[in-house]
């Protein structure tokens, strides 16, 4: 089955700087890669996703890049703000339609 690794597990960034979280996956059949933000006491919220026929996708301060050859994808957050502090999860899914999650990254934005 699919295996998703995520790094780093914790990340502290000065407000206004950029944050990058990286994930690798094992199943070459995977073709959908979402990123979720989870705040304390809440369920995961989809913030951006990318499909395997696209190399990069951007939504305001958030971008995701995908390298299918190397089987890795990354989340980029620019101009970070205190409200970006949360746990971020990457995930991957292929033909079986089950999401496999990474282990999570706790992002702390330092004011």
Q: What is the DSSP letter of 9?
A: S
Q: Which is nearer to another protein, 43 or 111 (CB)?
A: 43
Full DSSP string of 47-73:
EEEEETT-SEEEETTEEEEEETTTTEE
Peptide bond into 31 cis (omega under 30): no
Closer to another protein at the Cβ: 17 or 39? Answer: 39
Give least dist CB 50 to another protein, A.
11
Its sign, for the CA torsion 27, 32, 37, 41, is negative
Q: What's the CA gap between 50 and 36, in Å, rounded?
A: 12
Toward another protein, which CB reaches closer, 25 or 89?
Answer: 89
Give the shortest CB-70-to-another protein separation in angstroms: 22
**Interface with another protein by CB under 8 A: which residues?**
34, 36, 41-46, 49, 89, 91, 97-104
- Residue number with CB closer to another protein (59 or 79): 59
Minimum distance from CB of 47 to another protein (Å)?
Answer: 11
């Amino acid at each position: 089955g699919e295996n998703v690794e995520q790094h780093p597990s914790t990340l502290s960034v000065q407000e206004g700087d950029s944050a990058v979280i990286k994930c690798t996956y094992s199943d070459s059949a995977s073709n959908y890669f979402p990123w979720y933000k989870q705040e304390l006491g809440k369920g995961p919220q989809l913030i951006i996703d990318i499909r395997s026929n696209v190399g990069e996708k951007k939504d305001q301060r958030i971008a995701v890049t995908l390298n299918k050859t190397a089987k890795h994808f990354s989340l980029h957050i620019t101009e970070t703000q205190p409200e970006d502090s949360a746990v971020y999860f990457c995930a991957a899914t292929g033909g079986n339609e089950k999401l496999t999650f990474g282990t999570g990254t706790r992002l702390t934005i330092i004011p």
